[in-house]
Amino acid sequence: MSYFRPNIERMSGYIPGEQPKDGIYIKLNTNENPYPPSSRVLHAINEAVNENLRLYPDPVATAARIKIANVLGTKPEYVMAGNGSDDLLSIIIRSFAGEGDKVVFPYPSYMLYKTLAELQDSTACNIDFTEDYALPKDFLIKGAKVTFLANPNSPSGTMIPSQEISRIASQIDGVLVIDEAYADFAEDNCLSLVEQHRNVLILRTLSKSYSLAGIRLGFCIAQESLIQGMMKVKDSYNVDRLSIAAVVAALDDQKSMKTHVEKIKETRLHLMKSLQEMGFFVYPSQTNFVLARCMRGISAHTLYQELKSRKILVRYFNLRRLDDCLRITIGTREEIDILIQHLKELLTTKHSKISNVCCR
């Protein structure tokens, strides 16, 4: 007999991308930023390493909320900080969805949404994107307590226009969580919807555009009544002293973030063109990764394995609609050129090991 609740017993748990212990891989599998964080962040963390670490941090991370509000042009009362946006997603699901409640999210998208619904023993309504990653007509489910939408989406990199999301926000019953982990790489975002809709929550993170995945800092923007309620649900001290120092310094250095984002967007264009020339179908990307479908008879899984044996890690999902694709994080120009070189080698029929796998 198990001690666990039946829903926990049944679920398989979220499986994060590989994080190899040694540094010998070109790591293009978990959408980390290839560039270092701002030197101001490293300085601020060093400054915060002092005797005050014996004291608890500010429970509501006031300094971080003020800085975030300033940069985004909103009020600190509209902001909540978390131990990564995954922490905020967990706070949101515990705040708004219980046993048997409907939780809606599209497929394929960020796999954590399903795990969160299972944790609550909620009813997960997983609705397929259309072939070209538009939202289907039946995306609106009556009585849903929480609707998650990663925008831009992962793993497709595609984006739903903000006007359409605004329309959804006014038609659904519960809250709409717009997970904008990749907003800094995109042409548009939904921040302005927060004033217009009392059920909209926007999530941002320092993990991708600010090169701080190791710090674990995310934030949520929503109207004050939602933020106040969620404050009751979070851990008392969910953001530590070093993270608060880091986020303030990181947001102070917009120039460093934007310079790196521009480089990544240039490299993204270069990689997309090269992949298309090699015969891949590449989804239009508004993120720091691309989703490429293998069109040449060689399986995506074989390519993933061959790249791994050449010390290049990309993401392969053994899942419906994704098992013929590779998701590739945009690294430095040098890393991406090495990847392209290896892919070219692997795709030439001359390559002995692969040629028998090629069926065309």
Ligand X SMILES: *Cc1c(COP(=O)(O)O)cnc(C)c1O
The DSSP line for 146-176 is EEEEESS-TTT-----HHHHHHHHHH-SSEE
Please tell me whether residue 181 binds ligand X under the rule CB under 6 A: yes
Residues of this chain, 28-47, that bind ligand X according to CB under 6 A: 31
Toward ligand X, which CB reaches closer, 140 or 213?
213
Radius of gyration of the chain (CA): 21
Q: Are 102 and 122 in contact (CB under 8 A)?
A: yes
Give the nearest distance from C-beta 9 to ligand X in angstroms: 26
Q: Which stretch binds ligand X (CB under 6 A): 80-88, 227-235, 327-335, 339-347?
A: 80-88
Instruction: Indicate which single residue of 168, 218, 230, 242 sits in contact with ligand X (rule: CB under 6 A).
Output: 218
Q: Is 85 in the site for ligand X (CB under 6 A)?
A: yes
The one segment of 53-61, 84-92, 238-246, 332-340 that binds ligand X by CB under 6 A: 84-92
- Please state the closest distance from residue 217 (CB atom) to ligand X, in A: 7
Taking the alpha carbons at both ends of the chain, their separation in whole angstroms is 53
Cα–Cα nearest to 50, from 210, 258, 241, 280 = 241
Q: Compute, in degrees rounded to 10, the torsion defined by CA atoms 7, 8, 11, 17.
A: 150
Is residue 84 close enough to count as binding ligand X by CB under 6 A? yes
Distances (CA, A) of 227 to 65, 194, 233: 12, 12, 10
Stretch that binds ligand X, among 38-46, 83-91, 292-300, 316-324 (CB under 6 A): 83-91
Shortest distance, CB of residue 158 to ligand X, whole angstroms?
12
Q: Which is nearer to ligand X, 86 or 240 (CB)?
A: 86
89-to-85, 108, 204 alpha-carbon distances in Å: 6, 18, 11
Rounded to a whole number of angstroms, the minimum distance from the CB of residue 355 to ligand X is 36
If residue 68 lies in a helix (H) or strand (E), which one and from where to where?
Answer: helix 62-72
Least CB distance to ligand X at residue 40 (A): 20
Q: Does 150 bind ligand X (CB under 6 A)?
A: yes
Distance of alpha carbon 26 from alpha carbon 24, whole angstroms: 7
Give me the phi and psi of 246, to 5 degrees please. -65, -45
Size of the site for ligand X (CB under 6 A): 13
Residues paired with 282 in a beta bridge: 292
- 3-11, 81-89, 255-263, 275-283 -> range binding ligand X (CB under 6 A): 81-89
Cβ proximity to ligand X, 203 vs 303, nearer residue:
203
Task: Tell me: does residue 205 bind ligand X (CB under 6 A).
Answer: yes
Binding site for ligand X (CB under 6 A): 31, 84-86, 110, 150, 154, 179, 181, 205, 207, 213, 218
